[in-house]
Amino acid sequence: MAVHRHLARSGETFSSVLNSTRVQLAHQYLGNQNRPLTQIAELLGFSALSTFSRWFSGEFGSSPKAWRTAHRNTHSRHEAT
């Protein structure tokens, strides 16, 4: 209970902290092109890839696969310059 009170005093909730952490880790994990999306979903605590994909689309406005492709293309362009 003390954790919830502390979070409430700081204007946070457990859900907001969890979501913020997931956002940060999703960026990190998707940057690794060799890590399967199903594994990323599991690492972020989602029970299924479809649940992770819905969450990701809501947060980032694209599917994890599309985000990864765009990130890879952006990363490749920076390496070429």
CATH topology classification for 2-80 = Arc Repressor Mutant, subunit A (1.10.10)
- Exposure of 40 by Cβ count < 10 A (0-12 exposed, 13-18 middle, 19+ buried)? buried
Q: Where are the domains of the chain?
A: 2-80
pLDDT band at 3 (very low <50, low <70, confident <90, very high): confident
**Tokens 């204007």, located at residue:** 11
Q: Which tens digits make up the pLDDT trace of 7-49?
A: 888 888 989 999 999 999 999 999 999 999 999 999 999 999 9
pLDDT in tens, 55-77: 999 999 999 999 999 988 655 44
The pTM of the full predicted model, rounded to 2 decimals, is 0.78
- Half-sphere exposure in the Cβ direction for 73 (13 Å, CA): 6
